[in-house]
Chains A and B, each alone.
Chain A
Amino acid sequence: MTTSTSPLRAALPPPSITTTGRHGLADRLAPYAYITPFFAIFAVFGLLPLLFTFYVALFDWNPIGEHVYVGFGNFAHLFDDGRFWNAVRNTISIWVLSTVPQLLGALLLAHLLNHVRLRFAVFFRMTMLVPYITSVAATAIVFSQMFDRDYGLLNWLLGLVGAGPINFTQSVWGSQTMIAVMVIWRWFGYTTLLYLASLQAIPRAIYEAASVDGAGGWRQFLHISVPALRPVIVFTIVTSTIGGLQIFTEPLLVGRATPLTCGPVRQCQTLTLFLFEQAFGQFKFGYGAAIGVALFLLIIALAGLNYLLSTRIRAEKS
């Protein structure tokens, strides 16, 4: 992000040229016209709904019936609702299961790809982006089949080595692992490319100097690559927190017969899916909005915590 300071200060044409001449007024209004579409759309479809969530959460709000003000009643109900805490636990564990291996794997792959003499480098990079262009829906369907109890590829392979079939969709850890694998598959290549771009910006002379000083590959990785990657690592941790806590499509499609709860005992129902179930399955808009507020606070808390932790590591190491 070091480059972002200079463009902001970029030299500009003298104001006399901007404001005088034939096109005076139109030219003065032009900048506002150019940025208005974004702000208008974000205001109506982003900010307003977010603020409105806090308002709707205070009501017993039926989309086709009436709205009754209940104060913090929805939140009190939420606090006592076992289904809510179940969804919180599931959301956090799926997020940890999918984020940690993904970022570590991406780090390793980026390190491997960052080699000037590597052959087929373009092929490897392109292949890693293929999952990213595959839709979540298609991913969920194909992985569900691979993890299937009776006819899945994975259980067949397990059977070959004498292990019994695992009923992934029915168990808590099984269904959550399955979802985590889908998330990892879809995103690790994208993350790898982000890391690789940062690695390539490190001057090779630094590695050469370290090599002369007798530092091996592993120590070069730990003491040169990782420190240089810290800004992008912090970025990916924060974005994967914001995205990972909002997982919805995978559990919905994994649930099959009971999609809205991701299985009969809600074994992989995430907060967003719980929100969807309450709001659009049971038409409790107020309760759904309250879940939205809770999710908002959770995301802010965890993203903030991660940001602090990852920047603290930076401060200590350097």
Chain B
Amino acid sequence: MKANRSGERVRWWTYALLVLAAFACLFPLYWMFVVATTDTATATKLPPEIVPGGNFFHLASLVFTTVPFVRSVINSLVVAGTIGVGQAVLCSLAGFAFAKLRFRGRDALFLVVVLTMTVPTQLAIVPQYMIISWFDWVDTLQALIIPGLANAFGIFWMRQHLSSALSDEILQAARIDGATTWQIFWRIAFPLVRPAAFVLGLLGFVTAWNDFLWPFVVLKSPEMYTAQIAIKALQNSFDIDLGLAMSGSFLATLPLLVLFVFVGRRMVAGIMDGAFKG
């Protein structure tokens, strides 16, 4: 057992580098918390305080009174939650159709789905905004939700999972027993790929929660803000009170950190599972 990647002892510098990387990943969040707990006088003191102060609740309450923060977190939950669940269901359905059903134009349509992944749609933001205003959706949450439901990568991903998870014998047996396509999907296919759909929904949730440009363009009134736009509004007072923007950032990141503690392992596995295996 001499091979490097299989049996050999892990060298100390491997751990040193990995610990350094882990520190780099976690420190900015820790620092966010530190500044979020100190008043401006302390935050602008040199040398900087590197342990949390006792001002967290004071600043947090300021966050809630400066912007409608509770409302913005609820908005974010509604938007990101709907997008997460919606993507999980819609991508599973489309992935099922592409993986297991036979219909005219299937392969060509699937190629179109794959190609849309490479289209940089963000630069079309001017007409996107115009379309949203024709729908009279400016300053509404559906302007964020509906466009966010389409996910080409998700379809590709669910198709891969369904191709390997659902055997054709089972499919055929169900057909002979008289099951409709919908029943096959809902009773047989979806339960088999529920873990993959769950991770996909999580990734959709996180992306929607953190989205900035589109909500920034579409949302106008503070009651409609998502958490990210609320942070931006707090940052306008950055020079006045450093801790305020940090406190808002921390509070807007906290829900995802809590979520990550419970599902982070599955997210890691999901990302690695969906990756290239060639």
Count of interface residues, chain A, beta-carbon cutoff 8 Å: 127
A131 within 8 A of partner (CB): yes
Stretch at the interface among B52-60, B61-69, B98-106: B98-106
Residue from B3, B99, B118 in contact with A204 in the complex, judged by beta carbons closer than 8 Å: B3
Expressed in whole angstroms, the Cα–Cα distance for A109 and B267 within the complex equals 19
Q: Is the CB of B231 within 8 A of A12?
A: no
A37 to B25 Cα, complex, angstroms: 38
Are A133 and B10 touching (Cβ within 8 A)? no
- A window 17-56: CB within 8 A of B: 17-18, 21-23, 26-28, 30-32, 34-35, 37-39, 41-42, 44-50, 52-53, 56
Which of chain A's residues have a CB closer than 8 A to the CB of B25? 127-128, 130-131, 185, 189
User: Number of residues in B with C-beta < 8 Å to the partner?
Assistant: 117
Contact B152 A142 (CB under 8 A): no
A253 to chain B, nearest CB (A): 6
Q: Which residues of B contact A291 (CB under 8 A)?
A: 123
Interface residue SS majority, chain B: helix
In the complex, whether B222 has a CB less than 8 A from a CB of chain A is: no
A156 vs chain B, min Cβ distance (A): 6
Report chain B residues within 8 Å CB of A85: none
A1 vs B48: C-alpha distance in the bound complex, in angstroms? 50
Considering the chains assembled together, what is the distance between the CA atoms of A10 and B102 in angstroms? 10
Kindly state whether residue A76 has any CB partner on chain B within 8 Å.
no
Closest CB in chain B relative to A222 CB, distance in Å = 12
Please tell me which one of the listed residues A23, A142, A159, A280 contacts residue B217 in the complex, with CB atoms under 8 A apart. A280
* Assembly CA distance A3 to B271 (angstroms): 17
Tell whether A190 is near chain B: CB-to-CB under 8 Å. yes
Contact (Cβ within 8 A) A41 B4: no
A211 contacts partner chain B, Cβ-Cβ < 8 Å: yes
Query: For the complex, is A226 an interface residue (Cβ under 8 Å from B)?
Result: no
**A85 CB, min distance to chain B CBs, angstroms:** 17
Nearest opposing residue in chain B for A123, CB measure: B22
Q: Find the A residue at minimum CB distance from B147.
A: A45
- What distance in Å separates the Cβ of A46 from its nearest Cβ neighbour in chain B? 5
Residues B1-58 near A (CB distance < 8 A): 2-10, 14, 17-18, 21-22, 24-26, 28-29, 31-32, 35, 43-48
Residues from chain B with Cβ under 8 Å of A146 in the complex: 28, 31
Q: Which residues of B are interface residues toward A (Cβ below 8 A)?
A: 2-10, 14, 17-18, 21-22, 24-26, 28-29, 31-32, 35, 43-48, 90-91, 93-94, 96-103, 106-107, 109-110, 112-113, 116, 118-131, 146-147, 149-152, 155, 159-160, 163-164, 168, 171-172, 175-176, 178, 180-182, 185, 206, 209-210, 212-213, 217, 227-228, 231-232, 235, 238-239, 242, 245-246, 249-250, 252-253, 256-257, 259-260, 264-265, 267-268, 271-273, 275-278
**Known contacts A56-B130, A138-B249, then 16 further A-B pairs from the complex at CB < 8 Å, ordered by chain A residue:** A23-B181, A50-B123, A56-B126, A112-B14, A119-B10, A124-B18, A133-B260, A141-B238, A143-B28, A145-B246, A151-B44, A185-B24, A196-B272, A200-B272, A207-B3, A292-B125
